[in-house]
Every structure is written in structure tokens, then in C-alpha cells.
Structure 1
Amino acid sequence: MATKFADRMQTVHRSFIREILKVTEDPSIISFAGGLPNPELFPVEAMRKAASDVLAESGKEVLQYSTTEGYQPLRKFIADRYKSEKGIEVDPEDILLTTGSQQCLDLLGKVFLNSGDRVIIERPGYLGAIQSFSFFQPEFVTVGLENDGPDLNELEKILAMDKVKMFYAVPNFQNPSGLTYSAEKRKAVAELMAESDTLFIEDDPYGELRFMGEHQTPLSKGYLKDNCVLLGSFSKIAAPGFRLGWVVAESEVRDKLVIAKQASDLHTSTVSQRIMYRFMKDNDIDAHIEKIRERYRRQRETMVECIEKYFPEGVEITKPEGGMFLWITLPEGMSSMDLLDTAVAHKVAFVPGRPFYVDGSGENTFRLNFSNSDEEHIEEGIKRMADCLKDFFSAKK
């Protein structure tokens, strides 16, 4: 069969994170590996009522095929929330509802990428975007991340290259690093992008999850008006199982995305869209998000405090003001892949950093997820990791 597969299948591999999650099915393992929201915060009862009401009142309509663009009242809800929460104007007609924001990446790849086109991603970069764009056989070019955003000198040089089709970025609580672009960096990036023909793709699944510091305006639509798209998701603030996301794009781009989506799945689940809208309309979503923020703030603080207390010297960490992840850097010469084997034996798991680097670097880095554990398990898991690290460090002496 190998000779029958398309050439593109040679460049795309299984998600490393999904493979690690198989290991963590063992209930005795404390897992910081997955990018999972905390299920204790899922609004189960409110969703049950929303589903019941929708099916009781509009069952025949909801179970029928629908339009590709998505349920209009839900698109208007998203646009209104951009205005009230972010201070930016978005036309509901420029919103396309998708099957998770991951589908946005696939559609953008189909619409924009030819084999050999250059795609800029952050270093380290979001693994889901690397996997999705890889199907279209681009050349990835990476821009390094500083504490407040991308290295502007690197970015300017890259944008001067030929065939740089798009720049994919996660400016808020970046996955995997947890870093956030400052207002100054957002403005500077927008100025560089405005001088180029490169499409800016802003993925913002974590923007609502700020639990300390000041909210930042989206780079696209806030600082950069044209040649940009903005992605969003209900997965982190409501229910990932619904697989509901969206893309905001001006009409010419949106129309092409609609064509690509029609070829992919006709439309996103009408049932999911209608239930989500009913949930949003009938409940105080701001109060629900505030509960998530408060829980994640406590879990993040616990993880940072435990790392500072138990980890050996020489380990660097990011201290995010929101989101779901923080990033660990070990001294040069140490392998987080090797550390993972030892950690799993000690019943704790994380994601090594190397899969987040398309150039094969990042051997001494790894990602920790704090959202899907309570404080007690976070402390115990960090203690287990600290024991592994101390043994690791001793063996290197």
C-alpha cells in the first residue's frame, strides 16, 4: 500500500501529544501533557437544558442540513462580544463557523498554500498548526519568541524573503510557551505586516482566559485592519466536545473559505451551533468564564510555586498571566525526551519540547499544562518531576 499513498503523507506524522495521551490513560499517572480544559468546569446542567429546549422547540429544523456560513444568531453573538469585550468592530457576515478552530487551519491551508510556499511560525510553535499546514508541503520559517513577543529583527528579515505566504501566530498565552505579545510588540508586528503581502493569521483560543494583568487588543482587526484573519473557539470557555470555532475574514477571503468548507463537510453541526447559542443566550457567560479564570489562576500559582520550591537550580520557567500552559527550559545538553521516559516510570507525564520546533531544536525544553489538575495533584506531580530532575542532573555531573 505504501506506493499508493499521496506524497503529502510522507511529511505529516501523528500528533505527538495524542500519542502521549495514550500513556496517560493509566489513572495512577499525573498528567501535565494534554492541552485539556478542566472538566469540573464544564457547564453540564446548563448545556443539558439548552439541548433539551432547542430540540423541543426546533427539533425538525435543527436536525436538518443548514448553511455553510453557520447559524446567524451565533455569528452575531460572536461579533457583539468582540465589540463589548475587545473593543473591535466585526461584521457578523465576516464570520464563518467551523468544526473547531483546528478546521480553520486546514481551510486556510487549502485556500492559500501551494507546495513550497513559506509559512512563518513561532519558535516554539503550536503543534496542531504545524501538523495541519504540513499537509500542503510548505517551507516553514521560524521566528524566535522573546518574553514580550517575536524577535522583530528576525521577523523583518523573514518577511523580505520570496513566497512568504502567511505568518501564523498565537499572541495570547501562546501554546506551548504561555507567552503573550505586549501592546508595543503588537503594534510593531502590525506595522511590519502592513508593509508586506504576507497574510497574518491570529489564533486566539486562550484570549478569554486572562486571570492577571491587563487584557490586550487583538493584533488583527485591532492594529492590523487588512490582510489578516482572526480565529476563535468555544472549546476553552464552554465545551471542547462540541468542536465549535470560527474565523473572521474579509469577504474575498471568507468566500474562498466557504468554498473549501463546502468541499470538506458542507457545514458544522447545526445541533452544536444551536445548543451553544441557546447556552450563551440563557446564561451569564461572563460569570462562567470568571469561574474558569479563578480556578486556572490558583492552579497556575500552585504550579509556579511548587516548581520554584522543588525543582533544582538551573531550570527556567515562563510565568503566564493566563491560558493553560507554562514552558520549561533545562540547561543545555539535557534531553526532555530522555526525561519523559524517567518521568512516566515515576507516574508523571509532560510534553517534550522538540515536536514544537520544526528545525529539530528544543531538545532541552518541555511544556506543562496546569488547567486539567487540582492543586493537590499539581504539587504531587511537580514533586515527582523534581525527583526525576535531581536524578537527571546528578547523572550529568
Structure 2
Amino acid sequence: MDAPACHTDIIDFGKGQPSLSLLPVAAWRTAADHCLAHGDARLLQYGVDEGDEGFRESLAQFLSRRYAMPVATTELVVSAGASQALDLVCTRFTRAGDIIFVEEPTYFLALDIFRDHGLQVVGIPIDEEGIRIDALQDALVHHRPAFLYTIPSFQNPSGTTMSAARREQLIAASRMHDLLVVADEVYQLLDFGTVPPAPLATHVHTARVLSLGSFSKICAPGLRLGWIQGAPDVLHTITQSGVVQSGGGLSPFVSGVMRSLIDLGLADAVLDGLRRVYAERSAVLCRAMRELLPAVTFVEPTGGYFVWAQLPAERSASQFLSVARAGGVAFHPGTRFSSGGGFARHMRLSFAHYDAPELVEGVRRLAHALAG
């Protein structure tokens, strides 16, 4: 096959974000008008440490419906997205030099946050049911981690969903070892019809669990609005952060508009629309990969944003990336998601950002580059 022409229009499967067409501008305008019509100037003032109470009440009702479990306002603290929540957790529960556990592989930007805090990262392998409890138990013999970071549902990057049995085993290990579990549950509500097991947020009162959520994945990233769910005594440690105290809580105005989006039923409509679109885009990407990349192995996801694909035995994803870029397509190589440089043959492909024709064309370019 001839070498591909050099493209300037890169199709970047590394973009873990929605396309502009999916951002709910009209719904947000409606919600903003509804919010401002009340004339409540307190939205433009410093807020309380936990976050606006009215918003937390609406969020609790929204999560109670979506999680099919009761969520109380007192279990919620507002954050400026899940990344900032994770940074707060590191600030309040760790010191430089502490050991933490992560899944192997895991979200690469979380690894960057941990490095910013000077933490030592120990990877715990996963399988098709999620984190391996036998490996976790072995690691706990040798280490006393400050916390375990896990992405239980539609994991980034692998797409794996932790089974109900594995979740129960993880919570049992948490109780036995007094292990803080930090659950990044931003994809929990993004299933394609197969609902994942109950979130680890279910256990905030029975084990040391903090659950991180965000509207970045279920509404719009630019809102920079999320939440931390936990037992009130654990959340108190978060709200004593200097950043929270000095800032007078987080995102009071955006919280007010999001409250209107929830109360008007628009948040549910936006989320359900995203689930439909992502299910369609995932199916398109996977079908194209089966047809055009038969030598690449993967498991079709049942939710989330990503396909975790493995190249043939002789190929390095990092080396292949330069060839792929010359052919007009990009992705994140697997080593970015490893605490120890593993997964050299893997690549993470996101289907969230592109419509069907671009997804198919991107796979065609990958196939051309792989065959070159």
C-alpha cells in the first residue's frame, strides 16, 4: 500500500470531550434566564463552604433518581469539577512522599495530579471485572497507602466496569484495612442501556469512601462544576481546605444556573441525549474497527467515552503514533495510562468528539498507517 499523504486535518481520537454540537447552549440559556429571573443577588456573592444549599438539594434529588438510591444534601460538597476535587483530596488527605494505589491502567491526568503532590504511585492490576482484589490484598501487606483511586464504571482508559461482587470485595477490604477509597464516578450515568452496578457512593456511610462526580461528562466541560459525595465528617476535612475557605465555597453562580437546569428537567434531557449519541458513536467506531482493523483487538464498551485497543504483538503504540499522525490521525498511547510504563501496545480511542463520518475516516487512516 502506498504511503499516506501528510494530512493537516488531524482526526484526534485522543480528545476525551464532547463535540461542540453536543454542548447544550439553548438549554443553558433557558436555565440562566430562569435563574436570573429570581433576582437573587446571593448567587454573585461568596458562598458557604459546602456549596450553595439550594443547588445541593436539587443535585441530591437528581442523583437519587439517577443512582436509584437516596442521596442526602449533607453528603454533598460542591467542587470545580472532578479534577479539582481530586486535587482537594490530595491536599487534605496526603503529604508529599505518601504512597497511593491506582488501577493499572488509570486516567493519565490523575497521575499528573498525584505527581504534583509528590505522591508515590503503586499500580494495582485490573481484569474484566475491575480491580483485582488479590493483587490489592498483596499490596496492602507491603504498603500503607493514603488512599486508593479507582474509576469503577466505564473506566478511563479501559472501559471496564467493576462487577457488583468485586465492588463488595473492595468495600470489605476498605473496612478491614481502614483504606480510603476515592471513586472517580464521572462516567457512572453514561451507560448505553446496560446499567452498571450501584456506585461506590452507596457506601459512603459504611466505609471510608469519597465519590467524585462532574457535570463535565454529563452536561458540559466548561461549567467546571462537580461534587464530592461522602460522609459529613469526611467532607468536613475537605471544606477546611484553605482554597475552599478563602474562596467562600466553589462556583456559586454556576451552581445556581445548574440548579435551574435540574429543576426544569433539562439536565435529564441533556444527559439522556448524550447517552444516545455516545452509544451510536461507539457502535460506529467499533464496527469500523472490526471491518478495517481486524488485527487490532478490543472489547466494545457499554458506556463512557473510550475504546481500549491493542495493536499486534510487534507494534509499539508510541512508535505507531508518529506514523499515524503523518497519516492524519492521532490517539493516546497506552504507556500514558500506566504508573510503570506498561501497556506499550495499547491505544485509547475516544468516540465522544466526532460524528460518524469522521470516526470511520479516522479508523480508515489508522488502518492505512498500520499497513504502511
Measured against the shorter chain, the TM-score band is over 0.9
Of residues 276, 282, 288, the one that matches 1:306 is 288
Q: Is the Cα–Cα contact under 8 Å of residues 203 and 209 in structure 2 kept in the other structure?
A: no
Aligned letter for 1:297?
A: A
State whether residues 312 and 386 of structure 1, in contact with CA within 8 Å, keep that contact through their aligned partners in structure 2. Answer: no
Deviation at 1:134, TM superposition (A): 1.5
- SS of 2:146's equivalent in the other structure is strand
Tell whether 2:195 aligns with 1:183. Answer: no
Which residue of the partner structure matches residue 277 of structure 2? 295
- Picking from 40, 49, 54, the partner of 2:30 is 49
What are the within-5 Å matches in structure 2 for residues 306-345 of structure 1? 306-313=288-295, 315-345=296-326
Partners in 2 of 1:300 and 1:58 — Cα distance? Answer: 43
Instruction: Tell whether the 8 Å contact from 2:27 to 2:261 is kept in structure 1 after alignment.
Output: yes
The alignment's TM-score, normalised by the length of structure 2, stands at 0.93
TM-score (norm 1): 0.87
Q: 1:111 aligns with which of 62, 70, 92?
A: 92
- The one-letter code of the counterpart of 1:67 is V
Structure 1 residue corresponding to 2:362, chosen from 381, 390, 393? 381
Amino acid at match of 1:242: L
What letter is aligned with 2:105?
P
Code of the aligned partner of 2:177: S
Match of 2:4 in 1: none
* Alpha-carbon distance change, 291 to 326 in structure 1, aligned in 2, over 3 angstroms: same
| CA distance in structure 1 between the aligned counterparts of 2:71 and 2:30, rounded to whole angstroms | 30
1:178-327 equivalences in 2 (<5 Å):
178-222=159-203, 225-260=206-241, 261-262=243-244, 265-313=247-295, 315-327=296-308
| Alignment RMSD | 1.8
- Aligned partners of 1:384, 1:126: CA distance in 2, in Å? 26
Deviation at 1:151, TM superposition (A): 1.7
Residues 268-309 of structure 1: per-residue CA shift (max 9 Å, x gap): 222211111111111343333222111111110111111110
Q: Which residue of 2 aligns with 1:147?
A: 128
How far does the alpha carbon of each residue in 1:315-359 deviate from its partner, in whole angstroms, 9 at most, with x for none? 221211000001011234422111111111111111111111111
Deviation at 1:82, TM superposition (A): 3.0
Tell me by how many angstroms 1:172 deviates: 0.6
2: CA distance between counterparts of 1:347 and 1:48?
A: 36
Question: What CA distance in whole angstroms lies between the structure 2 residues aligned with 1:163 and 1:114?
Answer: 13
Q: Is the 8 A contact 1:95 1:247 kept in 2?
A: yes
Alignment CA distance shift 1:333-1:301 (3 Å) = same
Answer whether contact 1:125 1:357 (CA < 8 A) is retained.
Answer: yes
Q: Percent identity?
A: 30
Q: In the alignment, residue 281 of structure 1 is paired with which amino acid? A: D
Moved more, 327-336 or 338-347: 327-336
1:347 aligns with 328
User: How far apart, in 2, do the equivalents of 1:42 and 1:109 lie?
Assistant: 31
Amino acid at match of 1:39: L
Q: 2:83 pairs with 91, 102, 118, which one?
A: 102
Residues paired across the two proteins, number: 365
Q: Retained in 1: the 8 A contact 2:23–2:219?
A: yes
Q: CA 1:181–1:58 in 2, change beyond 3 Å: closer, same or farther? A: same
